Amino acid sequence: MNFLSILQDWFKRFGVRSMAGPILIVMILAMMVLPLPPFLLDILFTFNIAMAIMVLLVSMNTLKPLDFASFPTVLLISTLLRLSLNVASTRVVLLQGHTGPDAAGKVIESFGHFLVGGNYAVGIVVFAILVVINFMVITKGAGRIAEVGARFTLDAMPGKQMAIDADLNAGLIGEDEARRRRAEVAQEADFYGAMDGASKFVRGDAVAGIIILAINLVGGFVVGVLQHNLDLAAAAKTYTLLAIGDGLVAQIPALVISTAAGLVVSRVTSNENIAQQLVKQLFTSPQVMILTAGIVGMMGLIPGMPHFAFLLLAGALGWFAYFVMSRAKRALELPVVETVAVPASEAPEASWEDVSQVDVLGLEVGYRIISLVDKAQDGDLLRRIKGIRKKFTQEMGFLPPSVHIRDNLELRPNAYRITLKGAEIGTGEAFSNMFLAINPGNANGVLAGMQTTDPAFGLPAVWIEAELRDSAQEMGYTVVDAGTVVATHMSHLIHTHAAELLGRQELQQLLDHVGKIAPKLIEDLVPKLLSLSTVQKVMQNLLDEGMHIRDMRTILETLVEHATRTQDATVLTSLVRVALGPAIVQQFYPSAQELQVIGMDKELEHVLSQAIQAGGGSVIEPGLATTLLREAQNAAHTQEQMGLPTVLLVPGQIRDLLARFLKRSLPQLKVISHEEVPGFKTIKVTSLVGGRA
């Protein structure tokens, strides 16, 4: 084991890494009260300069502000380090300044002599200019950008959170990705808020630099003349150069750090760092460079101008523009491919291969939105549809058929159509270069764009240009791109038509999968007790009422238990629902001990039971049906106004018929039976069908 490994093990054992931050802060604060020798001051001043350069380079290579999320803390620590060094160097300057210009170390002496040529008047001017640039230009601008960025980020947080929820509900992302994105949104707001406050540190540092310089000048002059008996000229020169060197060695790293802060908060998030963005956006247009070269060249021909500098730069720009144009021309040149004529052959006879089957699930798109499903054009709708199928499988308990996508020239250019077994179940329009701003009900403000409705849920919406996206989010709109619109619409439709997606092939695949875990259960049920078609009908009945079939063990065990007494799929479905009662109730009341439900008037229950018996259990008399529907609508409306789930609780003998009857007119109203409610739950009737609660 080498020395480095031993050192790493020692650091890990004693937690040195976690202690590094507190130790650093304590050391910085200690520098303000403990005397430091000149050699150590040189080391610390050099470290301060190196850290400033490192921070600048890191900020230039980040792709988004959160890549350097610790920057506000770094800004505070670096500011505190500079101030501590100023205090330590001031102590040395005032105590040992009379011994010569190297009293506070070689770094301060070098900055006092080399950078300003030993002229303290020039040094004061340079120091003042650096402070003005840092304080009035860079720091003030960066602070303003951070302040505006923090405000806009906070205003856009609700819209971003709703967009994440929309992607999660559409199956485009999983729970882990949603949590990561929510945390990133919160971190972004925290970052800009912290940067807004951290910029005040830099402004205060600039003011402190001016005050410290004045203290060093006045204090050094007084100490040199009164305590060390220096003449006025010698004291002024010595202490002025030391004070200027001390000020410059602190202000130059401060200027670098401020520049890094401005770069971090002013950059636009992209997949390129700042250097790549500048090169790509400034030097890719040859027309701009040619025009600039012409203007600079004409300025160079004016008498009295420095001809060589202007004409040299004009020539360099012209050559670079020619180079860019030549490279673009070579990229457009395509190789010529010779075509060989192929003799026409006789048309082949028709065969069974020519018979095409209807796709179970299909998506047809107009020619203008083909880019949404084309990977070559960065279309990610295919990936989103895969995510939808995966999420559907996890939620509903079976794998839906694949979605077949093709273009259809008969559709409008921006239209799309979703089909189930060849029949259209949904249609809409999407604009690949625009965004759909959906009003969830609390948005304020009017957006310029094409008024429409959200194809999935029917909410009012507006198709807007990309530059209005941030404004729409600030107004409270949920803003999604065209691919998300299509994906969300498809996700909603396949959940709505889940029962029709469970064909015999899908059911057999599901049973084969369950058979790997519980082979005896499948062997006893199909085909010994029930046919595959009966099991399929039971599953479809469950899916048709919005239930999942993930708990296949309970479903199949219930069918095995009761299949010897009845083969009726409707009766078996009711028995399965009773077995799944806790899961059904939890679906509507996730964590409530008391179930606040819609009840039914006892007299109406009695009338309905008699009507069902008289009609053979499958129809409701028209007059009674009208009354029942009106009463159910009123009760559901009352329940919705109270913010409660619209769940109707009825006796088991009338549940199936009521569920089928109300499904078409009131799909949001779910019907459960008394038998399905677990014994440990309490019931409270808050609305009533046919009377008052």
Virtual torsion, Cα 348, 349, 353, 357, nearest 10 deg: 110
CA 554-559-560 angle, 5° bins: 100
What SS3 class is residue 425? strand
What does the pLDDT read at residue 118? 60
Of 125 and 459, the one with more pLDDT: 459
CATH label of the domain that carries residue 412: 3.40.30.60
> What is the sign of the dihedral through the CA atoms of 138, 141, 145 and 148?
positive
The answer to whether position 12 is within a domain reads no
What does the pLDDT read at residue 488? 93
- Is residue 177 pLDDT above 70, yes or no? yes
CA 377-382-385 angle, 5° bins: 150
What SS3 class is residue 252? helix
Same domain as 149, residue 52: yes
Range of the domain at 320: 283-329
The answer to whether position 594 is within a domain reads yes
Same domain as 448, residue 391: yes
How far apart CA 224 and CA 118 sit, in angstroms, is 19
Of 238 and 433, the one with more pLDDT: 433
Same domain as 617, residue 553: no
Read off the pLDDT of each residue in 616-629 and give the average, rounded to a whole number: 77
The percent of residues above 70 in pLDDT, for the chain, comes to 86
The percent of residues above 90 in pLDDT, for the chain, comes to 28
Same domain as 489, residue 508: no
Say if strands 670-673 and 647-650 run parallel, antiparallel, or are unpaired. Answer: parallel
Same domain as 410, residue 451: yes
Same domain as 324, residue 201: no
Query: Pick from 682, 681, 579, 598: which is nearest to 636 by CA?
Result: 598
Q: Are residues 207 and 61 in contact, defined by beta-carbon separation less than 8 angstroms?
A: no
What does the pLDDT read at residue 618? 62
User: Which domain-ending residue is among 579, 604, 626?
Assistant: 579
Beta-bridged to residue 650, according to DSSP, are: 673
Same domain as 598, residue 545: no
Per-residue model confidence as pLDDT tens digits over 336-364: 444 445 455 556 777 777 677 788 999 99
What does the pLDDT read at residue 497? 93
How far apart CA 551 and CA 553 sit, in angstroms, is 6
Residue 30 CB coordination number (10 Å) = 12
Q: How confident is the model at residue 430 (pLDDT cuts 50, 70, 90)?
A: very high
- Which pair of structure tokens corresponds to residue 67? 């890549």
CATH label of the domain that carries residue 607: 3.40.50.12790
Q: Are residues 126 and 115 in contact, defined by beta-carbon separation less than 8 angstroms?
A: yes
CA distances from 280 to 72, 91, 268, 284, 642 (A): 29, 50, 14, 6, 57
Same domain as 177, residue 79: yes
Read off the pLDDT of each residue in 462-490 and give the average, rounded to a whole number: 92
What does the pLDDT read at residue 524? 87
What SS3 class is residue 445? coil
Of 620 and 441, the one with more pLDDT: 441
The answer to whether position 402 is within a domain reads yes
User: Which domain-ending residue is among 497, 512, 538?
Assistant: 497
Q: Are residues 76 and 201 in contact, defined by beta-carbon separation less than 8 angstroms?
A: yes
> Looking at residue 411, what DSSP letter applies?
S
The answer to whether position 679 is within a domain reads yes
Same domain as 687, residue 674: yes
What does the pLDDT read at residue 44? 85
- Which pair of structure tokens corresponds to residue 384? 């989103």
Residues with Cβ within 8 Å of residue 301, at least 6 apart in sequence: 307, 311
The answer to whether position 540 is within a domain reads yes
Tell me what the pLDDT averaged over the chain comes to.
82
CA 625-631-634 angle, 5° bins: 140
- Is residue 482 pLDDT above 80, yes or no? yes
Q: Tokens 């409610």 label which residue?
A: 677
- Is residue 380 pLDDT above 50, yes or no? yes
- Which pair of structure tokens corresponds to residue 2? 């080498």
The answer to whether position 10 is within a domain reads no
What SS3 class is residue 692? coil
> Looking at residue 530, what DSSP letter applies?
S
Same domain as 449, residue 370: yes
Return the minimum-mean-pLDDT range out of 46-55, 120-129, 335-344, 574-583: 335-344
Query: Pick from 660, 656, 635: which is nearest to 645 by CA?
Result: 635
Q: Are residues 217 and 96 in contact, defined by beta-carbon separation less than 8 angstroms?
A: no
What does the pLDDT read at residue 338? 47
Number of domains in the chain: 5
How far apart CA 211 and CA 127 sit, in angstroms, is 12
Same domain as 269, residue 376: no
Read off the pLDDT of each residue in 610-634 and give the average, rounded to a whole number: 78
Q: Are residues 315 and 343 in contact, defined by beta-carbon separation less than 8 angstroms?
A: no
User: Which domain-ending residue is among 560, 579, 598?
Assistant: 579
What does the pLDDT read at residue 460? 93
How far apart CA 569 and CA 574 sit, in angstroms, is 9
Same domain as 125, residue 55: yes
SS3 for 209-223 is HHHHHHHHHHHHHHH
For 672, the enclosing helix (H) or strand (E) is strand 670-673
Strands (E), 454-525: 460-464, 478-481
What does the pLDDT read at residue 337? 46
Q: In the β-sheet with 415-420, what is the strand arrangement from edge to edge? A: 403-407, 361-365, 415-420, 423-429
